[in-house]
Structure formats: structure tokens, C-alpha cells
DNA sequence: AGTACCCTCGGTTTTACGTCA
DNA sequence: TCTGACGTAAAACCGAGGGTA
């Protein structure tokens, strides 16, 4: 178990709002038991009542862990630092902790959580993108199937499309949907010798994280 | 190869705080 | 206006796994 902050309610500082500025700086807290000092900082002016020092004394041995909210200024500096580097080496961590009057462990945990939030956000964006992509592919699929129906209905000889490679007409009957990537391919075994010919139906992928998830050409 | 130490990560718990009935 | 339930964000913790000396 790590050292737990031993604090009273007066430890509460502020809600952390990234990107905000100016708030009183904090006096130093020691590395180990340093939180008793922090209560002097109380920027929220939370009445500290009678509970001086440590009010902990939990029933099950260790003191209950209390959290402090980082001040706006602390959050701002941490964010700023995170923008420059998503990870810290021990020296940077120590320096930042000193600057912010936090324990190195707190800085470490903040970066850890910040990386996790960052990743979560990225994942959510990718998910959103894939949903849209799926929607557009579904729509495209619907359109193409309609088109095939129409061509079949016309019955004016074997329907044809142009090969993207040779510009020669291909029988539409050679078109099929790849079950894996849902792309339309022409499976003609003709002279092209490069196997199934992929038509250009996939949307442009901007996200680098997503580019690797594009169905492979081998599909 | 085995070990100790450190770091990061994913998952979880705990706490603070805002909202709403 | 007060209050308690509830949801959410974030700080803190834990254990696993990888890298290095």
C-alpha cells in the first residue's frame, strides 16, 4: 500500500478544469506525510472545523484515502506539460512535482490517468468514424444492388462494366461482394493476372490510427 | 537463467461534485 | 431552500507484464 493522503475535508482544492488559469500557488507539502500541510492551502475556504491534523483513524487499520482535487493552476500546468510529452522521465517528474507542490507519485498518477483519458477519447472518435463509414458503405451497397437489379431487368444483352485496368467491358455477372471487407470486386480470371480486381469504393481514411484497420488489399 | 527494481497499462475502487426530483 | 439519490469525472490503487541492470 502506498502512503495515503491523510487529510481533512479542508484538503479540497478546486474542481480541475483543464485549460484554465490563475489560481493561488500552493505551499510545499512534504513527500510522505505532506498532506497535513496542504490543508493550509485550501483555496475553497472549506471550513476546517475541529478536525485539525489527521482525522483518519479508520476502523480497519489504514487511514481512509482522501483525494484532493487539483487546483486549476496545477491542472493547467499538468496539461501544458502533457501536451509537450505524454510520458515523463524521473527527472521531469520530480521537477514537475516540485513545481506543482505535489508528490511525484501524484504527478505520475495524473499522467497515467491522462493517457488513459486520451486513449479513450481517441477510441471514441474511431468508433464514431467507423460507424459513419459503415453507414456509408451500407448505403453504397444498397445503391449498387439496386443498380444490379435494374441492369438485370433491362435484359439488353449481358450487362457490362468497364474494367478499371484495361477499360475493357466486363460482364457485370463477374462482380461480387467480398464477404470480409464488403468491397465490390470483379472476379474475372481474365488476362489481368492479378487476381480479383478491386474497385475504388472505400472512403478516404484520414485517421492514422484507422488506416491500419482498412481491409487489406489482399482481401 | 534467475532476480530485483522500475515503469506503464488496464481495470477497479473511492471520493468529490453537480443535477434533479 | 434543503436534502437525499444518482450519475459522472477524476484521483488513487492494484496486479500483471515488459525492460533493464
Domain assignment present for residue A154? The answer is: no
The domain tally of chain A equals: 1
Residue A158: pLDDT band with limits 50, 70, 90: low
- Please state, rounded to an integer, the average pLDDT across all residues of chain A: 61
Domain assignment present for residue A125? The answer is: no
Domain assignment present for residue A140? The answer is: no
Q: In chain A, which residues from 91 to 120 place their CB closer than 7 Å to nucleic acid strand B?
A: 108, 112, 115-116, 119
A52: CATH:
1.10.10.60
Spatial separation of the C-alpha atoms in residues A95 and A104, rounded to whole Å: 9
A43-66 tens-digit pLDDT:
233 333 333 333 333 333 445 566
Q: What is the pLDDT of residue A124?
A: 87
Domain assignment present for residue A57? The answer is: yes
A5-9, A151-155, A157-161 — most confident range? A151-155
Domain assignment present for residue A29? The answer is: yes
A61-75, A132-146, A163-177 — most confident range? A132-146
Spatial separation of the C-alpha atoms in residues A90 and A111, rounded to whole Å: 13
Q: Over 70: is that where the pLDDT of A122 sits?
A: yes
CB of A176 within 8 A of CB of A169?
no
Domain assignment present for residue A197? The answer is: no
Spatial separation of the C-alpha atoms in residues A60 and A203, rounded to whole Å: 59
Domain assignment present for residue A102? The answer is: yes
Query: What is the spatial distance, in angstroms and rounded to an integer, between the CA atom of A101 and the C1' atom of C5?
Result: 36
Q: How many CB atoms lie within 10 A of CB A107?
A: 23
A169's enclosing H/E stretch is: strand A169-171
The boundaries of the domain holding residue A50 are 9-117
Amino acid at each position: 500500500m502506498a502512503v495515503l493522503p491523510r487529510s481533512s475535508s479542508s484538503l479540497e482544492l478546486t474542481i480541475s478544469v483543464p485549460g484554465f488559469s490563475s489560481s493561488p500557488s500552493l505551499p510545499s507539502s512534504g513527500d510522505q506525510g505532506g498532506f497535513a500541510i496542504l490543508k493550509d492551502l485550501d483555496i475553497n475556504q472549506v471550513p476546517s472545523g475541529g478536525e485539525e491534523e489527521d482525522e483518519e483513524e479508520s476502523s480497519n487499520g489504514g487511514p481512509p484515502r482522501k483525494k484532493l482535487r487539483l487546483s486549476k493552476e496545477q491542472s493547467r500546468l499538468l496539461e501544458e506539460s502533457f501536451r509537450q510529452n505524454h510520458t515523463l522521465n524521473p527527472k521531469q517528474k520530480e521537477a514537475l512535482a516540485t513545481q506543482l507542490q505535489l508528490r511525484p507519485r501524484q504527478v505520475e498518477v495524473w499522467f497515467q490517468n491522462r493517457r488513459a483519458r486520451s486513449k479513450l477519447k481517441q477510441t471514441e472518435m474511431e468508433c464514431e468514424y467507423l460507424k459513419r463509414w459503415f453507414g456509408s458503405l451500407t448505403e453504397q451497397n444498397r445503391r449498387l444492388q439496386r443498380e444490379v437489379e435494374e441492369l438485370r431487368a433491362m435484359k439488353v444483352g449481358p450487362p457490362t462494366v468497364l474494367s478499371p485496368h484495361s477499360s475493357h467491358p466486363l460482364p457485370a455477372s463477374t462482380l461480387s461482394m467480398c464477404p470480409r471487407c464488403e468491397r465490390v470486386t470483379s472476379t474475372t480470371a481474365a488476362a489481368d493476372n492479378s487476381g480479383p480486381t478491386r474497385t475504388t469504393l472505400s472512403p478516404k481514411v484520414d485517421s492514422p490510427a484507422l488506416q491500419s484497420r482498412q481491409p487489406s488489399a489482399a482481401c
